Structure 1
Amino acid sequence: MQKAVEVTPPSGRHRGILAIAGVATLGSLLFGYDTGVISGALPYMYMPFDANGLQLTSFEEGAIGGTLLVGAALGALIGGRLSDRYGRRHNITMLALLFLIGALGTTFSPTVWVMYPFRVILGFAVGGASATVPVYLAETAPKRIRGSIVAIDQLMIVTGQLLAFTMNAMINTAKGGPRITIEADPSGHVAPGSYSYDALTALQTSKGGTMSAAQFHDFLDQLTIVSGNGEAWRYMLVICSIPAIALWIGIRLMPESSRW
């Protein structure tokens, strides 16, 4: 054993377990943020293109959520095998890049169809983090506090969700909620002026109005819209690029897990 210790190179610089847990669980924070943030972004995505939204349909809304889950399933399935092959620390480094690419890709997507592949990338990072971060913590933590350290992973997931809802609320408050300014409505349903987008969606039958979903989208297409704050969803999504960058920098300063 002593000979093996002498010839085996160290896995990296020595770091305290709290520093290692603090950095590694940024992946768990991103897991929570990316799964929670979309709830606050969707109301803005529903707004018309001229109001800087994506004019979603119900199918497109479902696909935005579903594509992330497809990616998460793949990430959980493949991420564990990759960490076994290349190492936990290496895997978390790659996941940090995927989180960043996914965040920037979804933020700057011009259409919902461009967003879908980036949502899959984000989902892959989410699934990979769920399979890698707890293992990295368990293999790094001393036996006497292993359970407590691994539990930080779960704490950071829900902290990420709380952060997502908090940032959504702050941005929504700063923007005054989804609002749209209409210059003309040839159909005569609304007069020119500034409206809460909820006032327009109330025209749909699902909200108690008289229009079907198809009729409502035709109604939106014939409006002359001069402004709107539908771009607010982009601010909500881009925020998670900050912890992704921090994770990439931080994990490069941490050692590989002793087990791997």
Structure 2
Amino acid sequence: MLLSKAWEAYKADKRIEGFYPHTLKAYGLQATLLIRYFNDVEMNSITTQQLKEYLSKSSENLKPSSLAHRIRFIRSLFRWSHEEGYIMKNTASKIKEPKGGKSIPKFLTEREIEHLRETAYTPMEKALFEFMFSTGCRIGEIVTLDRNSINWSNRSAIVRGKGDKEREVYFNIRCDIWLKRYINDREDSDPAIFVTERNPHRMSIAQMRYIIKRISNRAGINKTIYPHQLRHSYATHLLNNGAPMDVIQSLLGHEKSETTRIYAQLSGKIRQESYRKYF
């Protein structure tokens, strides 16, 4: 089977399985690069050594985390193709991710969070910022959220996360106030919980990222701030306040506990920084 045909079949299968759309989009880029490098040959003709050469050339320009992402895609594609009987041998089975491929998530301090709160001016900006931070949702989960997904009585919402799995998330009183004010001030009938400022319609991921960037530029914080950082900060805040790891895992919607345990490393880093600061 040609690489391009394998990718199309893989993508269709994973979409049915409920793969997160943004994962498939990122994998699509990796597939394009792989097909371009090998000139869309038959998968059976690609050897382990050729894959290693491709990854070796990639490693010159990629960070370990980006290289690890590329390797995960290749391993997944070749494993699936082998299991489906499209290739005789899984030549990617022995390719391993680079050490240090998983970095400790970057988070914001409480002071930085307060600076961002101060520079979110409009009800929409405040509602979006508070919802991101107080729920710890992925930006892709917020984009698809509708007004009728909100349960105002217990300040919660049902979101659809990775693997098309639903989970309940919660928001605080500050978020409740600004979210109600924002929605009540709106004159449109769009079902989306967050809409564009002009010609109101469902806000895109790019537009949400722009708004967070706009808020952070006003705050004058000397670091690059992006929406997923608010999710990391949410998890760190829970951890520092004594939340058990299994609770954090459930609230974040992590399928594997190993994904959540990285925040334990983060906590260790916080303790180390505190020691160096105060001792």
| Higher RCO (C-alpha 8 Å, min separation 6) | 1
Give the TM-score of the pair, scaled to structure 2: 0.22
Highest CA radius of gyration, 1 or 2? 1
